[in-house]
Amino acid sequence: MTEVIVLNGGSSSGKSGIVRCLQATLPDPWLAVGVDTLIEAMPASMRTSDAGIEFAPDGTVLVGPEFRLLEAAWIEGVAAMARAGARVIVDEVFLGGAASQQRWRKALDGLRVLWVGVRCESAIAAGREIARGDRITGMAASQADVVHQGVKYDVAVDTTKTEAMECARIIAAHVARSLPNTY
């Protein structure tokens, strides 16, 4: 049965909404964690340091060696939660495309993972970004395609015209296929 669901998509693609809908749709409790959780847990000084994570005025995100060290520990921690019996949904942004997925694959080795691509047309994601008001303008456009480069998925959804609940139902159907007659 699926133990971890990893959703990958650019900023403002709709991942967080899908995660909330999955938690409401799936019959068992699932913990939700995301890269935003990691960033919020870091000291504020790491959000403005070239050794940590920087958000450029054009929406580009740059990560340094200290961020990578903390990220590696965090990824291992998420994997440990799943190994301890918690079902986990990960809300991620693979800035490095396939290399980012590989870091997660290594940590999640031996666990049953459903890899989900969350796509959204760049213009739609950019509109959501403006409406949210909590993102740097340009982040959605800069991430819309790069996060999917070389990444392999079990299922992909597109939030351009599909609501979060419908995307969650599509993903939940894949999870249900991995369970022994519990749905």
At which residue do the structure tokens 């799943």 appear?
Answer: 82
Question: Is the Cβ–Cβ distance between 144 and 34 less than 8 Å?
Answer: no
Adjacent-strand bridge partners of 54:
62
CA 70 to chain centre: 17
* 3-state SS class at 140: helix
For residue 35, the tally of other CB atoms under 10 A from its CB is 21
Give phi and psi for 129, each to the nearest 5. -60, -45
Query: Token digits for 34?
Result: 């995301």
Active site residue 154: no
**Distances from the Cα of 108 to the Cαs of 10, 50, 80, 182, in angstroms?**
21, 28, 9, 24
- Out of 36, 50, 145, 154, which one is annotated catalytic? 36
Residue 74 to residue 63: CA distance in whole angstroms? 15
Residues tagged active-site: 36
